[in-house]
Chain A
């Protein structure tokens, strides 16, 4: 247990060893967070939209089974085949079955965190099917045999020279050419051939609309569309929480998603798939993999409202300074730290402790998930279940490394600005109560909110 539990702490220290890179990571994500703020502030109705999004998701979760059945019925009418997978293995087997039936050997895949969660690529590779990840960031990490370190910016842990070296090795680009346009165009050339010569395409799903049986996929690069339209088989994979009731709700979510993610007003492509094109087969795989359990945990059901915008990653002082790989889970960051213990409490016991509970995540979340309170709730459960002690100790180490590293003070000339970035919502708080006291109170004598308020008063 010790081994896994110390993973975040250890990985974070390794990440921080390259001080310049860690600082770049920290500052760049903070910049993305700032772009999110700017985009949000341009809409006077921003908070109203967050409320609506949150309420739509709450409602949907409260009637999820009914909406899923409605979705399935409509999708079937649309000529789409719907499959149900209870766990990762079944998801992989279903997809393999479809591909095998068509003797498909080469698959192009656009970004889907679910297929990462299910480790689909490994499964298919073991069955002699090659999968190319076509999102540029994912393609880069795939060539390097790494995992994405961020759900929206998969290669954010890498610098241009890394990409240049990787492409030189695998795509035979000029050695040492670090120009981003040159590198992007080189990948474009290779990937466009992959789209054309593949046998099948796999995409994720951003939103599935119950009333129409269709689904929406959002990309900037056009890779999901190139793959899906160029191939005779399109398989879309979704966690069952992707359902929304009506088409009109897309207006709310599409306004929030990309502004929260990168500060763009919308992704370049928001593609609405309803029926296969002539001569094409379209499949949807609806996946549980522990989600029904999470739905039943009253303290954590809200995590299923997540639309995977990653705003909580970009704002999180711990994520920014420990990097996505230190979370040893397909979804990293604050929301990953809530989802992961549901999948494997023992293995992921350290993650809810990898947070300062500053609440910045909760403040930016477009669907108003109470992220930091859920992290707090997990800590209580983990302590009770006997996983907490070691995890807590490990997390003290993480915090000491991640937040107390001398770099943090040299990041900017002024401590004030630095502190704003480290503790986005606790500027007046000198440091976080957490950091200062270096101890967590023993749960659960008081509620999180009470405890937090009291601590703040003492600062």
Chain B
């Protein structure tokens, strides 16, 4: 018997009597989603700017470029989109990228997490290897909690998807919090009110 068969057989023999799968609830709450999201995100080390439209995001981006920083621009609504040119880039070429701007799909007020799909990043490494990450979300895409988020997303729509909540961090040295571990040193979120 293969290990597979052995394992499955012994599980079948040992498994407890059937108990029912409970129905889920969404525990939705009637709160101001935007301010809750901002509060949570800043509490976990992220930065947040509420803007009326994409123009302000563009201004910020131009500022970064004016400083001579290398920027990957992945928001199609904005000029200067160049994400596609990095879709097959190797890690060693991406390592020097300073700032990455991408679209987020769904934002979660209770924990500051943003669902990012593979189609929004093209190259899975990009939001992890850059020094500074910027995610743009639409205000209408903020939901109260994870249950509402999973109602809206299809986790296997792409080969990969990720909830990103704040910049990379660690407290592994004597429990002292350090923002910026192996991934991005900062996360900035633009909430676009009209889109």
Binding site for B on A (CB under 8 A): 28, 31-32, 43, 45, 48-49, 51-52, 55-56, 58-59, 61-65, 68-69, 78, 84-86, 90, 134-137, 140, 153-156, 158-160, 163, 180-181, 183-185, 188, 191-192, 195-196, 209, 212-214, 220-223, 225-226, 228-230, 240, 245, 247-252, 254-255, 262, 264-278, 286, 288, 292-293, 295-296, 298, 301
Contact of A298 among B16, B158, B176 (CB under 8 A): B16
Complex contact B164–A136 (CB within 8 A): no
Complex contact A292–B11 (CB within 8 A): yes
Residues of B close to A286: CB separation below 8 A:
7
Residues of A close to B180: CB separation below 8 A:
184-185, 188
Q: Quick one: closest B residue to A160, CB to CB?
A: B174
Known: A181-B178, A250-B146, A272-B162. 20 other contacts (CB 8 A): A58-B16, A59-B21, A68-B8, A78-B159, A136-B172, A137-B170, A160-B174, A213-B156, A247-B150, A250-B155, A251-B24, A251-B145, A252-B147, A255-B145, A266-B113, A266-B165, A268-B167, A268-B168, A269-B163, A276-B159
A-B contact pairs, 7 of them (CB 8 A): A59-B20, A163-B173, A185-B180, A222-B182, A248-B151, A250-B146, A288-B3
* B160 on the A face (CB < 8 A): yes
* B68 on the A face (CB < 8 A): no
Residues of A close to B113: CB separation below 8 A:
266, 270
* B85 on the A face (CB < 8 A): no
Contact of A225 among B124, B146, B176, B178 (CB under 8 A): B124
Residues of A close to B182: CB separation below 8 A:
134, 136, 188, 191-192, 195, 221-223, 226
Size of B's binding interface in residues, CB under 8 A:
71
- Given the interface pairs A185-B180, A221-B183, A270-B163, the reply to whether A45 lies near B8 with Cβ below 8 Å is no
Binding site for A on B (CB under 8 A): 2-4, 6-8, 10-22, 24-25, 27, 40, 44, 88, 91-92, 95, 110-113, 123-125, 128-129, 145-147, 149-151, 154-156, 158-176, 178, 180-184
Residues of B close to A240: CB separation below 8 A:
7, 11
Complex contact A90–B3 (CB within 8 A): yes
Complex contact B160–A277 (CB within 8 A): yes
- Given the interface pairs A52-B22, A240-B7, A286-B7, the reply to whether A180 lies near B16 with Cβ below 8 Å is no
Complex contact B174–A56 (CB within 8 A): no
